[in-house]
Structure 1
């Protein structure tokens, strides 16, 4: 026996935390998500369950076995299938009335304008090392007054930054322009996580290989990211409650049982940040030299 889909019934359990009128507002909003891997797929499904009515999604990759520990669309039946195709199917299975456009070639300079057409909010889920794409995307958001959220999965926690219209931009905060690959990695990591709550419980240092763009991850962090990002999205789209904007951020680590509100005025230009990045760079170079010798 099949039951026809009904939007009001499907998302009726949201009511109470949002009003009926607010649920209708969410139904009329469009969110862009670039990247459908560790956090992107979870972002999409969480926001679909919140009742958001339209999405632009982008990813050029296919699901592989190393994705299984954290990516919501990674299953045996989805192996070697484009992530965007899988996630469209999963999201439409939650809400068949979704207006969802897929960019299977990823976000490029050629489709950037189309990707953001009619978009109310951007949720970042690009690969950590996709610096060129991320810089282009956030620059477009700043230029066109599109609020942007990044929730980074770090260890067993989440680090959040919001970049809101006419406030500090992504580039002003992270200072990536003109930097080397190594400096971008360190600036981005330390900028995302000034508190570095995840430091201290990594049990195998050899699992981190930033030079070759590899690092460990957990499903818990990805799901925490989805919950935190969706909450910020709700507040931004409904204009409810205080939304922290960069240089303010939040870092919650479930393993450490700690939550910190971070503040780095000037972003990575901040003296504390410059010192932390300098120390991290010395450690990074030392590790590289050790690897070369061995």
Structure 2
């Protein structure tokens, strides 16, 4: 068996980073909550970058419908806990990793331990997990931890970074306790990608049902997200390169081959955003009515 050597394993990264910077990454700790669509790809990308310490959290198991996009999803791993499968894959890349797993996921009672010692937080939570995500970003802000979220939308990626001393997650997205899941979903989606580059090629609108917490996904988007998140983490940890912080964001769509840089002062309370949210809610209502009409005609 070949012996593992850190410098040899990650030597091809040197050039884009210096060797001292590579060893700086080796000493850094990244916390990733959620190992589904993007979280697993985030972990493996950052492990290949040479980062040496991780906290990873997920309570879910691999299922057949994960196959189209999730790192670690395979027939041989169906039924396995995602957190254990991804830990093993990361250790197979770098057996010297310090990687702590949180198989019960994250909640307000576990966030202290999950974020302890973290240099940066990378969001991999399911799109519809709103309260836990809000709590996590608030906990990062309180602890002075930069937070990165990159959403897989269509066949592209939408980036938002939250600086501990900058605009908060809740203020940007204007998420409130009195909103239902559909309203929260629309606010979250519109805040992630104000340019909405991915909406021009949706082939089957019936696949989107935010009220039922259902939407389509692609493997290309998840892999693009991992590349974007890995780059942002590198810049934050090494303290070099341009980092875009909320309320500024970036969306790249590979299908349309377009890049959009957005700036929304006030976040979703911005007048333009409020208009777009209203339009999106009306469009969703029309789609829901059309589905109901078709369902009634089919059963009637």
Q: What is the CA–CA distance in structure 2 between the aligned matches of 1:136 and 1:239, rounded to whole Å? A: 26
Determine helix, strand or coil for the equivalent of 2:158. Answer: strand
Q: TM-score, normalised by structure 1?
A: 0.98
Tell me how large the CA RMSD over aligned residues is. Answer: 0.9
Q: TM-score, normalised by structure 2?
A: 0.96
Residue 260 of structure 1: aligned partner? 260
Q: What is the CA–CA distance in structure 1 between the aligned matches of 2:282 and 2:75, rounded to whole Å? A: 42
Per the TM alignment, residue 20 of structure 1 is displaced from its structure 2 partner at its CA by 0.7
Q: How many residues align?
A: 293
Residue 100 of structure 2: aligned partner? 101
Does 1:72 find its partner at 2:75?
Answer: no
Determine helix, strand or coil for the equivalent of 1:48. Answer: helix
Residue 38 of structure 2: aligned partner? 39
1:184-243: CA deviations, max 9, x gaps? 111001000100000111111111121211111100000000000000000000000110
Residue 49 of structure 2: aligned partner? 50
Per the TM alignment, residue 35 of structure 1 is displaced from its structure 2 partner at its CA by 0.5
Determine helix, strand or coil for the equivalent of 2:136. Answer: helix
Determine helix, strand or coil for the equivalent of 2:198. Answer: coil
Per the TM alignment, residue 270 of structure 1 is displaced from its structure 2 partner at its CA by 0.4
Q: What is the CA–CA distance in structure 1 between the aligned matches of 2:81 and 2:72, rounded to whole Å? A: 10
Q: What is the CA–CA distance in structure 1 between the aligned matches of 2:228 and 2:199, rounded to whole Å? A: 21
Could you tell me which runs of 5 or more consecutive residues in structure 1 were left unpaired when the two chains were aligned. Answer: none
Q: Is the 8 A contact 2:43 2:90 kept in 1?
A: yes
Per the TM alignment, residue 109 of structure 1 is displaced from its structure 2 partner at its CA by 1.5
Does 1:210 find its partner at 2:215?
Answer: no
Q: Is the 8 A contact 2:181 2:210 kept in 1?
A: no
Q: What is the CA–CA distance in structure 2 between the aligned matches of 1:171 and 1:118, rounded to whole Å? A: 24
1:92-119: CA deviations, max 9, x gaps? 0000000000001111111111000000
Q: What is the CA–CA distance in structure 2 between the aligned matches of 1:72 and 1:181, rounded to whole Å? A: 27
Per the TM alignment, residue 12 of structure 1 is displaced from its structure 2 partner at its CA by 0.4
Determine helix, strand or coil for the equivalent of 1:255. Answer: coil
Q: What is the CA–CA distance in structure 1 between the aligned matches of 2:171 and 2:24, rounded to whole Å? A: 32
Does 1:182 find its partner at 2:182?
Answer: yes
Q: What is the CA–CA distance in structure 2 between the aligned matches of 1:25 and 1:255, rounded to whole Å? A: 36
1:112-261 aligned within 5 A: 112-178=111-177, 179-261=179-261
